[in-house]
A and B are shown apart, each in its own frame.
Chain A
Amino acid sequence: MTTSSTTVGAPEAGAPAGRARPGGRRNASTSTIDSKRQWWGWLYVTPFTIVFLLFLVVPLAYAFWMSLHNKGIATGGQSVFVGIDNYTRAFTDPIFLAGLARVAKFVVVMVPIQIGLALLCALVLDTLATRLSKASRLLIFVPYAVPAVIGALMWGFLYSPRFGPAGDIFGLFGLDAPDFLSSSAIFGSLVNIVTWQWVGYYMIILYSALRTIDPSVYEAARIDGASGPQIALRIKVPMVSSSMVMVLVFSLIGTLQFFTEPTVLRSVAQGAIPSDYTPNMYAYSLAFSYSQFNYASTIAFALGIFVFIGSYIFLFATRKQSGLK
């Protein structure tokens, strides 16, 4: 899962709204000092702008240009302009739609589990102030520090019927271990890997948001007779709702772009995980295995459109909680 692409815009979502920005519009009439200041401003953002244009805008524009063309392998590699034909094909492509349905299922199952666990851990750790809590905070966070590919490889071994511990553990009770890599179990196996990897990261975000709450609020609540669980649910959770929204957006986008874990596990479960398991994997195999770069660009863009619409609807629906309104 990749959330790095989203982090650029993300802090805005969590930032408290309505903060007065320095250097506002008070002196609308531009003095020499102001225009000089603006000029310097451009200079400061130049390094970012160059990298942004060169490595994001230009490739995106090129991919979009490619998605409007087609090149059949039998037609001598001639690139033909086909307009939105590729998009019509993508949105009626049963493989792409099945992939979308599959990641939607992952969103429905995986996102609540991740956020629920992360919130629970954060709330419990927030109430504890012992040395143990510091240690467990670190332990929950450690899986996030393991690179996704290494994590998935490791789980591949743990799931392996021969090398994995499941056989021994189930054997203690006289049972046969389930095959975690069969087509019926692979969904749960993938949910498990991703949850293991990301709960710690979301937990740290929620935990740090909890730490910024003024303790006097709790004191007041306790004087009013609120119990521990009541404080957690009625005070703490609402007060970190903007961070919750941010974490949810991370998780949502990451899941829609699901790629790394199934790709790595595919090396040990090629039948259970087809090469078009998720839309991202479909785009990858189209481009690099089947040499269909044009249609792959279309699939990538179509997925981007879905992610954009999905995130927009979500942010609009939660604008109150996130403080965007």
Chain B
Amino acid sequence: MRIRTFQRGAAVAAALTVGLALTGCSSGGGSDDGAASGGAEESCTNEIAKPDATQVSVWAWYPAFEKIVDQFNESHDDVQVCWTNAGQGADEYNKFSTAIEAGSGAPDVIMLESEVLPTYTILGSLEDLSAYGASELESQFTPGSWSDVSSGDAVYAIPVDGGPMGMLYRADIFEKYGVEPPTTWDDFAKAAQDLRDAGYEGYITNYPTNGNALNYALFAQAGWAPFEYDASAPETIGIDVATPESEQVLSYWKDLVDKDLVSTDDAFTSDYNTSLVDGTYAVYLAAAWGPGYLQGLSDADTDATWKAAPLPQWDEANPVQVNWGGSTFAVTTQADDKEAAYEVASGLFGTMDAWKSGIDDAALFPQWNEALQSDYFVNKKYDFFGGQQINSDVFLEAANGYQGFSFSPFQVYAYDQQTQALYDMVENDGDAATALQTIQDSLVQYAQQQGFTVQ
């Protein structure tokens, strides 16, 4: 016993020493001695081209982002970007929340999806950029994306990319079984049945109970607006989740699930990823970043033929466009030099060169009109879709039709509740109205607990 304890102690001591040594090493050697503005000395993933300039720390998880950072640093003499990938989505948000609570440790500029902006504006963690001239940029961005980042006169982030939705489908499967790709949701349900009747063994698509923002978008297409929230009156919130619109959409999917025409696998697992590309699902209801996601998946059918089409509509005469995902750059209130941070937030994706790289290497969908309307983007042919010009065919119209969406200031909680309620509905054969009412009740209770006046 004694000896074992001692050995354990020695091991712990050794581990501590090594740990201290490593920390010492990274903080001493990793960063340059230039004027780091982030308070603590940070180590960057990229090389700083001009060490004497003001440094602005950036957290972002865009693919192939280093090239864009290097372009920015080479073209700027007064400001240099020090970029770190702090994890994707929730991983980064957890770190940011911790840094907010701690009062230090947040980057100067942070990549946030538009759906979490209210979560951080209510904590007072994001700088109002209108003081630095951001309001003048409004005309340079799509109206939907601008409405997502602004609240009255205040502007809390600069839009970067968006996720207007479309329908990606396996043209070869539809052709093989002699079914026409649907344009309305009624057609979609019929096509699901026709494919099955014709002998197709997969599912027309998957309805993930953890499909957070996707499910929001599908509800929103029927006119669902669950939250009424304005950053200028942060104590009040309107919560209206269980509405006829959401019930209509959820009942529609529940019906397809009951008939076993649509699967209910969790999204973003390796099972789901494989099913997307191996012919298990005939349709991928996708955002504009979806094609990039598909191309990165392995085990794909080699003879698959993908095509893009507009998202099916409830009412073909009055099409409604929706958005799934999309990200922005915000300046945190912890930033030392906010002027410089704003220059970075608005400038990183502020050139056509940066966007060429964003479009080609990272499959981003620009919200910046100059890139969005450029011939380069509009007429780009995608090999993955057999040369189809998916932007002009599908996504540009979807992006222009998007009007913006109001998220809650506790969006992660709202998503978790939704996942739970939808899963219970599917698993225990519940009905749509009960599931939506469960979400509604838990959100109202939560909001009251947090000190909101619920309207």
- Say yes or no: B450 contacts A51, CB within 8 Å: no
- Say yes or no: B266 contacts A271, CB within 8 Å: yes
Nearest Cβ distance between residue A285 and chain B, in whole angstroms?
Answer: 7
Nearest Cβ distance between residue B117 and chain A, in whole angstroms?
Answer: 14
A269 to chain B: which residues have CB within 8 Å?
Answer: 266
User: Can you list, as one digit per residue, whether each of A277-319 has a CB less than 8 Å from chain B (1) or not (0)?
Assistant: 0000000010111110100000000000000000000000000
B16 contacts chain A at the CB level, 8 A cutoff: yes
A183 contacts chain B at the CB level, 8 A cutoff: yes
Choose among B123, B124, B234, B427 the residue that contacts A183 (Cβ–Cβ < 8 A): B427
A25-33, A35-43, A73-81, A134-142: which lies at the interface: A73-81
User: Can you list, as one digit per residue, whether each of A1-41 has a CB less than 8 Å from chain B (1) or not (0)?
Assistant: 00000010001001100000000000000000000000000
- Say yes or no: A289 contacts B94, CB within 8 Å: yes
- Say yes or no: A274 contacts B97, CB within 8 Å: no
A288 to B412, CA, bound (A): 10
B275 contacts chain A at the CB level, 8 A cutoff: yes
A47 to chain B: which residues have CB within 8 Å?
Answer: 13
A11 to B5, CA, bound (A): 7
Choose among B16, B426, B451 the residue that contacts A74 (Cβ–Cβ < 8 A): B451
A65 contacts chain B at the CB level, 8 A cutoff: no
User: Can you list, as one digit per residue, whether each of A71-89 has a CB less than 8 Å from chain B (1) or not (0)?
Assistant: 0111111000000000000
What is the chain B residue whose CB lies nearest that of A288?
Answer: B94
A192 contacts chain B at the CB level, 8 A cutoff: no
- Say yes or no: A74 contacts B450, CB within 8 Å: yes
B171 contacts chain A at the CB level, 8 A cutoff: no
A287 to chain B: which residues have CB within 8 Å?
Answer: 97-98
Mostly, the A contact residues are loop
B8 contacts chain A at the CB level, 8 A cutoff: yes
Choose among B90, B123, B234, B274 the residue that contacts A162 (Cβ–Cβ < 8 A): B274
What is the chain B residue whose CB lies nearest that of A182?
Answer: B427
A163 contacts chain B at the CB level, 8 A cutoff: yes
A207 to B409, CA, bound (A): 55
For the A-B complex with A11-B4, A270-B210, A271-B427 known, give 6 more contacts whose Cβ atoms are closer than 8 Å. A77-B124, A160-B271, A183-B423, A270-B423, A271-B266, A287-B98
Total number of B residues with any Cβ neighbor in A under 8 Å:
46
- Say yes or no: B419 contacts A270, CB within 8 Å: yes
Contact (A289, B4) CB under 8 Å given A76-B124, A163-B271: no
A251 contacts chain B at the CB level, 8 A cutoff: no
User: Can you list, as one digit per residue, whether each of A246-290 has a CB less than 8 Å from chain B (1) or not (0)?
Assistant: 000000000000000000000111111011000000000101111
16 CB contacts below 8 A, A to B, read A11-B5, A47-B13, A73-B123, A74-B447, A74-B450, A75-B451, A183-B423, A267-B269, A268-B270, A270-B209, A270-B423, A271-B209, A271-B420, A272-B423, A289-B412, A289-B416
B413 contacts chain A at the CB level, 8 A cutoff: yes
What is the chain A residue whose CB lies nearest that of B101?
Answer: A293
B123 to chain A: which residues have CB within 8 Å?
Answer: 73, 77, 291
What is the chain B residue whose CB lies nearest that of A14?
Answer: B1
A276 to B36, CA, bound (A): 40
Contact (A291, B270) CB under 8 Å given A11-B4, A73-B123, A73-B450: no
What is the chain A residue whose CB lies nearest that of B1?
Answer: A11
Q: In A76-105, which residues have CB < 8 Å from any B CB?
A: 76-77
A51 to chain B: which residues have CB within 8 Å?
Answer: 16
A271 to B266, CA, bound (A): 8
Nearest Cβ distance between residue B21 and chain A, in whole angstroms?
Answer: 16
User: Can you list, as one digit per residue, whether each of A36-64 has a CB less than 8 Å from chain B (1) or not (0)?
Assistant: 00000000000100010000000000000
B452 contacts chain A at the CB level, 8 A cutoff: yes
What is the chain A residue whose CB lies nearest that of B416?
Answer: A275
A47 to B124, CA, bound (A): 41
Q: In B403-438, which residues have CB < 8 Å from any A CB?
A: 409-410, 412-413, 416, 419-420, 422-424, 426-427
A157 contacts chain B at the CB level, 8 A cutoff: yes
User: Can you list, as one digit per residue, whether each of A141-183 has a CB less than 8 Å from chain B (1) or not (0)?
Assistant: 0000000000000000100111100000000000000000011
Q: Which of A157, A270, A274 has the most CB of B within 10 A?
A: A270
A72 to B234, CA, bound (A): 12
A163 to chain B: which residues have CB within 8 Å?
Answer: 270-271, 274
Nearest Cβ distance between residue B175 and chain A, in whole angstroms?
Answer: 26
- Say yes or no: A161 contacts B413, CB within 8 Å: no
A-B interface, 4 closest residue pairs, ranked by CB to CB distance from nearest? A271-B423, A72-B451, A74-B451, A288-B94
